[in-house]
Structure 1
Amino acid sequence: MRAFADLLDRLIYTRSRNTKLRLIGDYLRTTPDPDRGWALAALTGELDLPGVKPAVVRALIEKRVDPVLFRMSRDYVGDTAETVALLWPARGEPDGDLKLGYVIDRLLTLGRVEAPAAMAAMLDVLVADERFALLKLAMGGLRAGVSSRLAKTALAQAFDLDVDAVEEVWHGIAPPYTPIFDWAEGRIAQPTALDTPVFRPFMLAHPLEDARVDLADYAAEWKWDGIRVQIVRAGGQVRLYSRGGDDITGSFPDVAEAVTVDGAFDGELLVRGEVQGGEAASFNALQQRLGRKTVSAKMRAEYPAFVRLYDILFDGPEDLRGLSWTERRARLEMALPRFDPERFDISAVIDAADFDALEAIRAGARDAAIEGVMLKRRDSIYTGGRRAGLWYKWKRDPLTADCVMMYAQRGNGKRSSFYSDYTFGCWTEEGALLPVGKAYSGFTDEELKGLDRFVRQHTLNRFGPVREVEKTLVLEVAFDSIHESKRHKSGIAMRFPRISRIRTDKPAAEADMIATLKRMIA
C-alpha cells in the first residue's frame, strides 16, 4: 500500500500531464505483479469492490468517532475518504508490508457481510495517507486527475508500446492485466482479439470553432443527441461499448440481441419517439435506459432503443480502418441490409451545395435529437482519438434563459469551501417560482467567489447542506436543449445547463417564464 499511497498523493498534487505520465510510468515499471495491475485497474475505473460502498464506510467511522463530529468534518473537508482517513483511530501497529494485491484479493473474495470487518482491520494498521488510498480504492472514484486514456498512455510510454494497440487488447483482458505486462516486458507476443468482441478506440472530432471547410473535401452528417456506441460481434458474442470503453450491453439487451453481423460498427444509440417506428426521441428519453443493470419488458417497450450507424471498423475479420471515409461509407451502406431495420439505420449525409447552404440548414435544425453537424474529411482513415483536420463537430448554438437563483449547495474537492452548485427557477403565470435546473459550471473562479458571497449574505433557510437564498439574483443559463419531464414540478428538464452570465443588471421579476421555456421544446 505504501507505494500506491505515494503515487496517489503525488498525482493529486500535480496538474502537469507530463508529470502524471512519468509518475504512473515509474510506478508501473518498478512495482511487481499483481499490485501494478490492480493500481492500473483503479486508475482506469475498472476496479469494483462490491462489498465496500460509501454507506459502509460511513457506518464504520460512526462506530469509532462521534457521528456529529464526522458529519461536521465531512462537510468542511468535502471528501468522505479524506475525512475518514484523518479521523480513523488506529488500533494496531502500522503494517508497512500490507500489499495492494493482498488488499484487493481479500476484499474481492468477501461478501457484503464480511467485507466491512476486513476493511476496518486493514484501516487499523495503516497510516493516514495509506488509509486514504485504501478508501479511495474501495469506494471508487480516485479523482486524481487521471483519465482512463491517460493511464493507458502512461503504460504505453513506460514500455514503448503503441497506445492504440494497448487500447485494442485492453477490454479482452481482465485485471490485474498480467498478459499485458508480459507483452510489455517482452515475455509474450501481443495478445490478439480475433474471436473476442473487444473495444477499439473511437475516432473523435475537434470543435469547428470559427473555421469554414470545403464540402468537396468534407462530408456533412447530423450530430445526433444520444450516446456514441461501438457494436462489436465476434466469436458468437456481442458487446456494446460506450465512448469511454464501458460495456453497456446489459442496459440494451434488445439492441444486442438484434446484432447478427460480425464486425465492429460505430454509431449513435438512441430511443425512438412515442409513435411506433418513429424518429429519435430526445436524450431525456434515452436517460430512462442508461445505467440500468436489468431492463424490464415494459421499459423496453416504452423506450425502444436503436442505433443510427455512422461508420464501419471491421467487416467480419477484415479491418477497414485504413480505408478512406468514402470507401468505408460505401462498405457500411453495403452492410446495412444485413441489419434488423427495426434496430438499425444509417446516419444520412446532409445534401448541401456549399458551406453557406449547410450553415443555413444547421441554423434551422431544432429537432429534439439533433445536437449539431459532423464534418468528416472524405479521405480520412479511421484512427483512434482526435487528429487535426480530419473530423469536426459543429454544435448548434445553445439556448439561453434568464433564471433566478433559488438554492445553493457546497461543492466537492477544491470547491468544498464554496457554494458552487446552484438551483435556479423561472416564473409561472401565477407568479410562483419553480425550479427548472441546476448548474455548477460556466463561471470563472472570481465569479465563483462573488456567487458564494451572495449565498452567504442572502441565506433565508438551511436544509442540511442546502441553503435557500433570497430570490433576487438573475443568472443567464445556457443549455443545449430542453424537454418535457414528468419528474420535475415545472414539467421541463434542461440538457447540459451551465451559467453563461450573472445578470446583476436585471430584476428577478423580469426573469423568464416557464411558458417561455416550454415554447423552446423541439
Structure 2
Amino acid sequence: MRCAIMRAFADLLDGLIYTRSRNAKLKLIGDYLRAAPDPDRGWAMAALTGRLDLPAVKPALIRAMVEERVDPVLYAMSRDFVGDSAETIALLWPEPAAAPETMAPLTVSQVVATLGGISRSDAPAALATMLDRLDADARFALLKLSTGALRVGISARLAKTALARAFGLDVEAVEEVWHGLAPPYAPLFDWAEGRAAQPSARDLPVFRPFMLAHPLEQESVDLADYAAEWKWDGIRVQLVHVAGETRLYSRAGDDITHSFPEVAGAFATPGVLDGELLVKGAFQGGEAASFNTLQQRLGRKLVSAKTLADYPAFVRLYDILFDGAEDLRDLPWSARRARLERFAARLDPERFDLSAVIAAADFAALEELRAGARDASIEGVMLKRRSAPYVAGRRAGLWYKWKRDPLVADCVLMYAQRGSGKRSSFYSDYTFGAWTAEGALLPVGKAYFGFTDEELKWLDHHVRTHTVNRFGPVRETDKSLVLEVAFDSIHESRRHKSGLAMRFPRISRIRTDKPAREADTIETLRKHLT
C-alpha cells in the first residue's frame, strides 16, 4: 500500500482540516488511535496536543531547502495563493526518480526518531530523503508533523477527549495523568486497552486541569449563592510543590517555571494552588500592572537580573486544589476558600496574595462596581457558586466570567493579508489605523475575527477592488473604509509607530456610513490608556 503508515496519519490530518463537526473530529481521531500501532499513535497524540518538539526542523530551514529545488519566485507566488507552506511544498516538491511504491513504508515513529536526534546541519538532507519517499498527501503530513504547526482545527482538550471516548475512559482521568507521562504514552495506551492499571501522578509535580468559567449571559445571579471576585488581567497559573519540586504551569499545561524563577523559588509549601500571575507596577505603588507590562516577562527562557528587578512577578491566588497530599477538589468553594486563606498566610507576601471577595450588597451594586472598574489589571468580575467543587473544564452554573464592556473606536482599514487554513483564499487579517493631529494615518491594531462569513466575503472583495499597493502577501488599501473596532484596553507601545497597542481587538461593525476622515484620532485613543 502506497506510503501506508504515513498515509493513515495524512488521512487523519486531511479529515480534520475539512471536517467542521466536533463529533466527526472526535470520531476521526478515535478511529485512528484504535487502528494505529504503537508507538505511532502516541507520537500522533503528542503532535495533536502540541507536545511534539523536533528542534532541528525550523520553518526557515524548510523554506531554504525547497528553494534549492524549486524556483523561489514560483514558490513565493504559490505560497501566497495556497496560504499554507506545508501544502505548497508538498505539491511543488519534485517527484523522486524512484516511485514511492518501490520504497519501504515510512512510519510516524521513524520520522520522530530520525528528526528528534539530528543536528540542524544534517536536518535538511534527512528531511529531503523522507520527502522523496512519500507522495504529496504524505509529504504534507510529514511537514506538519516535523514543524509541529498542525493547524487542523482541534485543541489539546479535544484530542484527549477523543482518546478517552475511543477507549471508554473518563476524560478527567486522562487529564489527571497526562502531564505525568511523556510521549509516546505507552503506559496510557496500556491502561486504555486494559493491559495495566491507571498510571499514578501522586508523587510527581504534574499539572491538573483548570476549572473554567462560562460567560455570564443571564441578567443576574443571587449573591447569596455566588461569591464575586475581580477577574485580573494576567495569565492563569497553577503552582505545584510535590516531593521537593516546584512547577508553574500555564492554562494550557505548559511548564513556565523557568520564566518566573522568583515565584517558583518562593513556593516551597506542599500543595497545588490556582491563581493569576501578574507583574507589579512601580508607577502603581507596587500594585498589579497591565497585561502589556506582563508581556515583558512572557516567553523568556533566560531572565536577566534587570528584568527580574524591573518587572517583579507575583501570584494573586484564586483557589486551592491540594493542601499537602490532601485533595480538596471535592469540597465546596466556601470550604476551599477557608483552606486557601490559611494556606496563603504561610506564604511570602511579596510573591503571593489573595484575590479578595468583592463586598456588594446585591447584584445591582456589583454591576455598578463592575461598570466603574477601569483598573489596568482588571478585566471584569468572576462569579463562583459557593457550593461548587473544583471540577476540570466548564460546567454550567458553577463559575461565570462577567467581563467589563469593551471599548470601541472607529478606525480606518490600511492593510490586509490572507489568512491561513480555511481562510487562505480570503483577505481576513486587517491592520487599521487612527489619525494624527497632522492628518497622517498610523496603525493602532490588527484583527482577524469579529465578523461573519458574509462580512468576510464583503471585506475580501473590498480589499481586492481597493488595493493601491502590494508588499509581498500584504495589500495596502485606499484608506476609504471605516471599521468599528472593539477592544479590551489600550496601552503604550514602543513597537508601534503610533505609540499605542490594543488588547484583544476585534471588528465589531463595518462602517460604510462613515467617511474615513471622521474616524477617531490617536489623541482620542490615548484617553483610554491604562
- Judge same fold: TM > 0.5, yes or no: yes
Deviations 1:55-107 (A, max 9, x none): 11111111111111111111000000000001111323313521111111111
In the alignment, structure 1 residue 65 sits paired with structure 2 residue 70: yes
In the alignment, structure 1 residue 409 sits paired with structure 2 residue 414: no
Deviations 1:387-423 (A, max 9, x none): 1101000000000001111111121122222221111
State the AA in 2 paired with 1:57.
Answer: I
Shift of 1:274: 2.1
Following superposition of structure 1 onto structure 2, how do residues 496-511 of structure 1 map, counting pairs within 5 Å?
A: 496-511=504-519
> Does the CA-based 8 Å contact 1:2-1:96 persist in structure 2?
no
State the AA in 2 paired with 1:439.
Answer: A
Match of 1:6 among 11, 28, 38: 11
Partner of 1:338: 346
Shift of 1:276: 7.9
Partner of 1:19: 24
Partner of 2:128: 120
Match of 1:519 among 514, 524, 527: 527
In the alignment, structure 1 residue 211 sits paired with structure 2 residue 219: yes
Shift of 1:2: 2.0
Match of 2:384 among 353, 376, 401: 376
Deviations 1:216-250 (A, max 9, x none): 00000000011111111111111111111111112
In the alignment, structure 1 residue 75 sits paired with structure 2 residue 80: yes
Partner of 2:99: 93
In the alignment, structure 1 residue 200 sits paired with structure 2 residue 208: yes
Shift of 1:457: 1.9
Percent of aligned pairs with the same amino acid: 75
Partner of 2:311: 303
> Does the CA-based 8 Å contact 1:90-1:123 persist in structure 2?
no
Following superposition of structure 1 onto structure 2, how do residues 384-463 of structure 1 map, counting pairs within 5 Å?
A: 384-463=392-471
Match of 1:467 among 475, 479, 482: 475
Deviations 1:112-162 (A, max 9, x none): 111211110000010111100000001112111221001111111111111
State the AA in 2 paired with 1:93.
Answer: A
In the alignment, structure 1 residue 239 sits paired with structure 2 residue 247: yes
CA distance, structure 2, for counterparts of residue 408 and residue 4 of structure 1: 34
State the AA in 2 paired with 1:307.
Answer: V
Shift of 1:34: 0.6
Q: RMSD of the TM alignment (CA)?
A: 1.2
State the AA in 2 paired with 1:114.
Answer: D
Shift of 1:16: 1.5
Secondary structure of residue in 2 paired with 1:372: strand
Match of 1:488 among 491, 496, 502: 496
Following superposition of structure 1 onto structure 2, how do residues 33-182 of structure 1 map, counting pairs within 5 Å?
A: 33-91=38-96, 92-94=98-100, 95=103, 97-182=105-190
Deviations 1:321-355 (A, max 9, x none): 00000000000000012111111111000000000
Partner of 2:357: 349
Shift of 1:44: 0.5
Shift of 1:429: 1.6
> Does the CA-based 8 Å contact 1:220-1:374 persist in structure 2?
yes
Mark the CA change 1:395 to 1:276 in structure 2 (over 3 Å): closer, same or farther. closer
Shift of 1:289: 1.3
Partner of 2:35: 30
> Does the CA-based 8 Å contact 1:271-1:281 persist in structure 2?
yes
Q: Which runs of 5+ in 1 are unaligned?
A: none
CA distance, structure 1, for counterparts of residue 221 and residue 352 of structure 2: 30
CA distance, structure 1, for counterparts of residue 404 and residue 386 of structure 2: 22
Match of 1:478 among 455, 466, 486: 486
Secondary structure of residue in 2 paired with 1:338: coil
CA distance, structure 2, for counterparts of residue 179 and residue 475 of structure 1: 52
Secondary structure of residue in 2 paired with 1:483: strand
State the AA in 2 paired with 1:54.
Answer: P
Mark the CA change 1:96 to 1:5 in structure 2 (over 3 Å): closer, same or farther. farther
Partner of 2:3: none
State the AA in 1 paired with 2:276.
Answer: E
Deviations 1:350-406 (A, max 9, x none): 000000000000000000100000000000000001111010000000000011111
> Does the CA-based 8 Å contact 1:90-1:125 persist in structure 2?
no
CA distance, structure 1, for counterparts of residue 347 and residue 119 of structure 2: 42
> Does the CA-based 8 Å contact 1:277-1:342 persist in structure 2?
no
Secondary structure of residue in 1 paired with 2:46: helix
Runs of 4+ in 1 over 3 A off after TM superposition: none
CA distance, structure 1, for counterparts of residue 418 and residue 200 of structure 2: 48
Aligned pairs, number: 522
Q: Which runs of 5+ in 2 are unaligned?
A: 1-5
Partner of 2:296: 288
> Does the CA-based 8 Å contact 1:479-1:494 persist in structure 2?
yes
